[in-house]
């Protein structure tokens, strides 16, 4: 408690209240994290807000213009400066679909992303969005029938299962409403090949790594020792469209940087290196075990049964939100690592 109070005194006055559900955490002078509620942290991304001399830099733009406008409202309570830069850490919809809200609010804004991310937004984001719009209503219909009948997969649902399903249904309905608001994908106006540095009262480095997609960017503030990682180092790690082996190399590289604070794409702000090293150890084990399973001739499904990372589960799974996605995330990582092994 003493440490928390001391930190608050050092950081100065608290910022203006954020919109409902969004939390603004001050990380230093002019540097903030806009964090999603814990229960929704795997449905919606965080943002970072960095105040520069000539404007504001924002990292990632949420699932929809409405969600992005929440962050815009919050940052207007922090500074009167316009947003000059928006950085998209990768192409996934929950990080880019709010771009149009920034374009509408700040017509001179520049959108920055890796060159591969621009290509992926142009070619893949629209079809992925359309697929979700097609699949989610069908899931909602099945969930509504299960609640009405009290049965799922031919079995009677318990009171606890029914309550959990009601919560998931409410979240899916809210998410679908956000998706339906998206009517265009605003492309990056500036692309990064390897690195890009902005200097305006402070230094902001954009660094390209691999592990979640082929176009991941990390935003590094060396003077403030703040690392904004996108989904490369989330609360609960997910390889997405990336390679677990490449993610391990990226995490080792990030560990060589001088930082104290991590703003992940999803989840709470982290201090120090414990979380980074826990995630690294998890994926090192998963990659090693999956490679051994593939080399011994096991099928993918057999590999999923054999790979055991249960010893790390308790660290990552501490609430229902994490419990819901843990096995899916691990199975996806095994599948990606298995594919890598078969191409070695």
Measured CA to CA, the distance from residue 220 to residue 260 in angstroms comes to 11
Note if the pTM is more than 0.85: yes
Q: Mapping DSSP to helix (H, G, I), strand (E, B) and coil, where does residue 309 land?
A: coil
Query: Strand runs (DSSP E) across 115-178, as ranges?
Result: 151-152, 155-156
pLDDT at 15 over 90: no
Sign of CA dihedral 262, 118, 177, 212: negative
> What per-residue confidence (pLDDT) applies to 154?
84
> What per-residue confidence (pLDDT) applies to 13?
31
Q: Give the pair of three-digit tokens for residue 205.
A: 């480095």
The edge-to-edge listing of strands for the beta sheet with 226-230 is: 195-199, 203-209, 216-221, 226-230, 261-264, 270-271
Tens digit of each residue's pLDDT (9 = 90 or more) over 251-292: 999 999 999 999 999 999 999 999 999 999 999 999 999 999
CATH topology of domain 2-118+185-230+261-272: Metallo-beta-lactamase; Chain A (3.60.15)
Q: Mapping DSSP to helix (H, G, I), strand (E, B) and coil, where does residue 171 land?
A: helix
pLDDT at 28 over 90: yes
- The answer to whether 51 and 78 have CB atoms below 8 angstroms apart is yes
DSSP string, 219-265: EEETTTTEEEEEGGG-SS---TTS-HHHHHHHHHHHTTS--SEEEES
Whole-number average pLDDT of the chain: 92
pLDDT at 300 over 70: yes
Which of 61-70, 95-104, 208-217, 334-343 shows the lowest per-residue confidence on average (mean pLDDT)? 334-343
Tens digit of each residue's pLDDT (9 = 90 or more) over 232-243: 999 998 999 999
Pairing of β 47-52 and β 31-35: antiparallel
Measured CA to CA, the distance from residue 137 to residue 340 in angstroms comes to 34
């Amino acid at each position: 408690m003493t440490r928390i109070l001391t930190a608050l005194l050092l950081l100065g006055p608290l910022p203006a209240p954020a919109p409902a559900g969004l939390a603004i955490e001050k990380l230093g002078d002019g540097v903030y994290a806009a964090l999603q509620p814990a229960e929704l942290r795997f449905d919606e991304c965080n943002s970072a807000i960095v105040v520069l001399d000539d404007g504001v830099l924002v990292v990632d733009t949420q699932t929809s213009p409405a969600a992005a406008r929440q962050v815009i409202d919050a940052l207007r309570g922090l500074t009167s400066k316009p947003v000059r830069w928006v950085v998209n850490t990768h192409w996934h919809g929950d990080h880019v679909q709010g771009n149009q809200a920034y374009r509408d609010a700040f017509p001179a804004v520049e959108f920055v992303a890796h060159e591969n991310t621009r290509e992926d937004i142009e070619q893949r984001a629209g079809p992925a969005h359309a697929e979700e719009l097609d699949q989610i209503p069908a899931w909602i219909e099945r969930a509504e029938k299960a609640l009405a009948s009290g049965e799922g997969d031919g079995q009677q649902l318990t009171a606890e299962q029914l309550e959990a399903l009601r919560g998931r249904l409410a979240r899916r309905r809210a998410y679908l409403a956000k998706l339906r608001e998206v009517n265009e994908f605003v492309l990056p106006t500036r692309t990064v090949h390897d690195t890009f540095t902005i200097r305006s009262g402070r230094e902001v480095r954009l660094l390209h790594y691999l592990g979640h997609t082929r176009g991941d960017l990390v935003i590094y503030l060396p003077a403030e020792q703040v690392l904004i990682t996108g989904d490369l180092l989330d609360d609960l790690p997910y390889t997405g469209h990336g390679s677990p082996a490449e993610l391990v190399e990226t995490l080792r590289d990030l560990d060589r940087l001088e930082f104290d604070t991590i703003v992940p794409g999803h989840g709470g702000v982290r201090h120090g290196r414990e979380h980074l090293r826990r995630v690294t150890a998890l994926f090192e084990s998963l990659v090693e075990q999956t490679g051994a399973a593939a080399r011994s001739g096991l099928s993918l499904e057999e590999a999923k049964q054999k790979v055991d990372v249960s010893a790390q589960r308790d660290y990552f799974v501490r609430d229902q939100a994490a419990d819901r996605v843990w096995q899916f995330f691990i199975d996806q990582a095994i599948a990606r690592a298995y594919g890598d092994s078969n191409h070695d």
